[in-house]
Amino acid sequence: MSDDDPPITFYRLQACPYCERVARTLQELELEYQSRFVEPLHSKRDVVKRVAGVRSVPVIVDANTGVTMAESANIVDYLEATYGDEVATDGGRPSSASAGAHDGGAD
């Protein structure tokens, strides 16, 4: 990794909903990251296997903390706990179900 590379590398698959969940969180937290798109065929994802020990995506590698992690829910929790300062002071994280429900319907 050079000095110009973003500290977070995000291994993902095109059109993967779990990867999109992580991408949304990275964007919401305004974190710099580098996307690495992987092979669609599970058995061909050798780069992910070398980095994380698994062939599933999403996977992040955070050079800031030395953390390598798979599974979208775990990654989102980690990112929010590590980089989500304003979220932590609000007394908790918003659930993923309510993340897009900001318009309308207050009873």
pLDDT tens for 9-18 read 999 999 999 9
What CATH code is carried by the domain that includes residue 20? Answer: 3.40.30.10
Residue 103 lies in a domain: no
Residue-range definition of the domain harbouring residue 15: 8-56+66-88
Residue 93 lies in a domain: no
Is the pTM higher than 0.85? The answer reads no
How far apart, in whole angstroms, are the C-alpha atoms of residue 34 and residue 51? Answer: 15
- Given a contact cutoff of 8 angstroms between Cβ atoms, the answer to whether 45 and 38 are in contact is yes
Predicted local distance difference test score (pLDDT) of residue 28: 97
Residue 74 lies in a domain: yes
Residue 17 lies in a domain: yes
**Which residues of the chain have a pLDDT value below 70?**
1-3, 86-107
Predicted local distance difference test score (pLDDT) of residue 5: 87
Residue 31 lies in a domain: yes
Residue 100 lies in a domain: no
